Amino acid sequence: MKAGAIRSRKGTAYKPSAIRGYERALKLRVLPELGHLRFGEVSRRDVQRLVDNLLASGLAPSTVVNTLNPLQAIYRRALQREEVLTNPTERLDLPRQDSRRERIASPEEAARLLEALPHEDRAAWATAMYAGLRRGELCALRVSDVDLATGVIRVERAWDDHEGEIDGKTKAARRTVPIAAVLRDVLVEHLMTTKRTGEALMFGTTAQHPFEPSTVRRRALAAWKAAGLEPIGLHECRHTFASLMIASGVNAKALCTYMGHATVAITFDTYGKLMPGNEEEAAGRLDAYLARAASRDNGATTELEPVRSRAVESGSNSLV
């Protein structure tokens, strides 16, 4: 995976953070349970026992499922290359992962949260809140990527804590995001204060070093506690951006582009519940459409009727 010889199911290279996660899961949880077995000897029963033991140890369902990811990747590839006859990671009885409630700030709350932040951190949080950039994208954003003249942010790369600058999560991660007026004011003030230009990092602790999300988070928590506000995370700011876009009437395809999702299906799966279209509203929209259509039809008939009558009177067989 590190060399790029082994790819994901989509044919893309694994990100450094994903590889580190795989290594960690294998060393900490998989190998202690299955490491004594030969590769082709591992059975579905063995893997199911691993799952059951991890759950019994008190691990969260999501952690258990993520622990299986490297094992599934290994055996999927081995099966494709006929190195094993069966895939022992298929048809397992896995724990259900309860969907986690994502915090979303209202427009008024978003403004209060940003206002309470330390001045040096406000622009990064505002870009997450009003442009939807991921944490790694915020870390890697350069001043040259922020085009205030045309009103867009060009997301070109991401950041890995160990590897430095890396490609985005997917090809769709490279994108252009519009800069709303509320964000533009914050960015202009930030650039005037920091005096950064060109290829300097937009939000780094220095022009060459990215900010530390954990440090920025600690300062934000302290500020929000002092202001009596409910905290929010950087990723939840991204969700807030999506909700604000949806509330403003942006369509799903445009939102998919702005969020950097690989497909619009991901956008629907993640934010479909926020999009307008409940049963009552859907019925109302259909009724309104049919009423407009009927009105148009009646208007057309009314306009044609005198013409039709004149045609009949003149003995013409033509409609008009």
3-state secondary structure the chain: CCCCCCECCCCCECCHHHHHHHHHHHHHHHHHHHCCCCHHHCCHHHHHHHHHHHHHCCCCHHHHHHHHHHHHHHHHHHHHCCCCCCCCCCCCCCCCCCCCCCCCCCHHHHHHHHHCCCHHHHHHHHHHHHHCCCHHHHHHCEHHHEECCCCEEEECCEEECCCEEECCCCHHHCEEEECCHHHHHHHHHHHHHHCCCCCCECCCCCCCCCCCHHHHHHHHHHHHHHHCCCCCCHHHHHHHHHHHHHHCCCCHHHHHHHHCCCCHHHHHHHHHHHCCCCHHHHHHHHHHHHHHHHHHHHHHHHHHHHHHHHHHHCCCCCCC
Choice between 56 and 293, residue whose per-residue pLDDT is larger: 56
Domain check: are 268 and 134 in the same one?
A: yes
Q: Is the pLDDT of residue 184 over 60?
A: yes
CATH number, domain of 9, equals 1.10.150.130
Using a pLDDT cut of 70, give the percent of the chain over it: 89
Residue 162 pLDDT = 83
Pairing verdict, β 158-160 and 152-155: unpaired
Answer yes or no: is pLDDT of 294 > 70.
Answer: yes
Q: What is the mean pLDDT of residues 74-96?
A: 93
Q: Tell me the pLDDT band of 23, cut-offs 50, 70 and 90.
A: very high
Q: 194 and 300 share a domain?
A: no
Do 76 and 169 reside in the same domain of the chain? no
Q: Do 144 and 85 sit in the same domain of this protein? A: no
Could you tell me which residues come within 8 angstroms of residue 179 by beta carbon, excluding any fewer than 6 positions away?
131, 146, 148, 151, 152, 153, 187
The reported pLDDT for the residue numbered 281 is 59
Are 206 and 244 within one domain? Answer: yes
Query: How much is the average pLDDT of 29-51?
Result: 96
pLDDT grade for 240, boundaries at 50, 70 and 90? very high
* pLDDT at residue number 39: 93
Q: How many domains does the chain have?
A: 3
Same domain as 220, residue 186: yes
Final residue before a domain boundary, out of 72, 98, 124: 98
Residues 39 and 114 in one domain: no
Torsion sign over Cα 200, 208, 21, 232: negative
Domain harbouring 248, CATH code: 1.10.443.10
Q: What is the mean pLDDT of residues 12-16?
A: 86
- Of 47, 66, 98, the one marking the end of a domain is 98
Please say if the pLDDT value at position 273 is more than 90.
no
**Over 80: is that where the pLDDT of 8 sits?**
yes
Structural domain of residue 4, as residue ranges? 1-98
Does 112 lie in the same domain as 16? no
Q: Which residue, of 68, 98, 128, is where some domain finishes?
A: 98
Q: What's the mean pLDDT when you consider all of the chain?
A: 87
> 113 and 154 in one domain?
yes
Looking at residue 101, its pLDDT comes to: 60
For residue 194, the model assigns a pLDDT of 95
Residue 269 sits in the same domain as residue 123: yes
Does residue 90 share a domain with residue 121? no
Q: Among positive and negative, which fits the CA dihedral 187, 192, 193, 194?
A: positive
Answer whether residue 306 shows pLDDT above 90. no
Residue count of the chain, please give it.
320
Sign of the C-alpha dihedral computed for residues 192, 198, 202 and 207 taken in this order: negative
Question: How does pLDDT run across 189-207, given as a tens digit for each residue?
Answer: 999 999 999 999 999 988 8
165 and 260: one domain?
A: yes
d(CA 320, CA 316): 8
